[in-house]
A = this chain, B = another copy of it.
């Protein structure tokens, strides 16, 4: 089969690789219907993360189960499934507590141990603990939204949950990438009265509005802080979603959080120094991390199937799998927010 491999910075190829086969009795093999490129795939692409030449890449996909091992109970051939970006056993204490992303037997998708999502087929380890099937094979129009549940929508949802968004809140979302936009959608879906999206890109502002942003703040740094404080009578936001991961974005997040609130963070932190003394003084907490996408899948899947949310709008480009290298280029050059790939 064909799958995406990375060989050096900016060197993405569609390569011939062995077909996946069931090895453990808990494995499943899935025929990929759609995969996509994640913002975090751009780190190795840009050479910011170490690359093992020829390694597989991509960790988001949906597909149809082809074959399952003898011990798999919850999915069967023909099921349409969403695969979260990490595989989890579903039975360890961390999984049982809903933190499948800290599973004691965690396996990253798109790693040595589990095929990536930018290919034709994928073997999924610990299928029962990992995959969630739709009630029937969904309409093709729902595929983009279902695909977001493998990562970005679950991650945006986690930011909002971690920030303890509740009905009536004023929420600030820092970051207008696919995750930040999904954070806007999550906050809105959780009943936030005002959702303030920090964004200076018109195409992203437009999606933010469609996702429920009531205010767009195009300023940055001190000016963004001033804008939020003006909108909140000088108090700050009830909840803040940090969806970037840089020192500046964290700083802005704490700048606009009201005393006693929580910054929910899901951007992998890069070079961040937390303002701990200030957190002490203002009682602004920090919660979040790698999203337990698996935890949220049943709930968010129901919302997608009912039409309550349409996170698939974050995909503003769709390419055939052959053009995967072009997809990376588009995202790197910010010509696309998020690229969907069809094998």
Are B286's CB and A285's CB within 8 A?
yes
Task: Tell me whether A285 and B287 are in contact in the complex, defined as CB-CB below 8 angstroms, given that A258-B94, A260-B94, A260-B98 are known contacts.
Answer: yes
Instruction: Give CA–CA (A101, B280) in the complex, Å.
Output: 10
CB distance from A248 to the nearest CB of B (A): 15
Closest to A235 in B: B93
0/1 per residue, A83-106, Cβ < 8 Å to B?
000000000011001110110100
Binary B-proximity of A253-275 (CB < 8 A = 1, otherwise 0): 00000111010010011001010
Asked if A292 lies at the interface with its beta carbon under 8 angstroms from chain B, I say yes
Contact B102 A282 (CB under 8 A): yes
In the complex the two chains form, is B286's CB within 8 Å of A101's CB?
no
Number of interface residues of A (CB under 8 A): 36
Residue A290 at the chain B interface, CB threshold 8 Å: yes
Q: Give the shortest distance, in Å, between A27 (CB) and chain B (any CB).
A: 25
In the complex the two chains form, is B288's CB within 8 Å of A283's CB? yes
Contact B97 A259, beta carbon cutoff 8 Å: yes
Dominant secondary structure at the A interface: mixed
CB neighbours (8 Å) of A280 from chain B are: 265, 268-269, 288-290
**Are the CB atoms of A292 and B287 closer together than 8 Å?**
no
Indicate which residue in B276, B277, B290 contacts A283 across the interface (CB closer than 8 Å): B290
Cβ-based interface call for A162 (8 A):
yes
A276 near B272 (CB under 8 angstroms)? Answer: yes
Chain B residue with Cβ nearest A245: B280
A190 at the interface (CB under 8 A from B): no
Does residue A334 face the partner (Cβ distance < 8 Å to B)?
no
Q: How far is the CB of A151 from chain B (nearest CB, A)?
A: 15
A285 near B285 with CB under 8 A, answer yes
Which of A235, A258, A283, A292 is most buried by chain B, counting CB atoms within 10 A of its CB?
A: A283
Hey, which chain B residues are within 8 Å of A282, CB to CB? 102, 289
A285 contacts B235, CB within 8 Å? no
A104 to B88, CA, bound (A): 46
Is residue A141 within 8 Å, beta carbon to beta carbon, of the partner chain?
Answer: no
**Does the CB pair B260–A269 fall under 8 Å?**
no
A330 within 8 A of B: no
* CB pair A287 B262 closer than 8 Å: yes
A325 at the interface (CB under 8 A from B): no
Residues A102 and B272 in contact in the complex (CB < 8 Å), given A94-B235, A258-B94, A287-B287: no
Q: Does A281 contact B (CB under 8 A)?
A: yes
Question: Is A279 part of the binding interface, using a Cβ–Cβ cutoff of 8 Å?
Answer: yes
A162 to chain B, nearest CB (A): 7
Residues of B within 8 A of A97 (CB): 258-260
- Which residues on the B side are within 8 Å of A285 (C-beta)? 162, 262, 285-288
A-B residue pairs, 6 tightest by C-beta? A285-B287, A102-B259, A283-B289, A99-B260, A280-B289, A99-B259
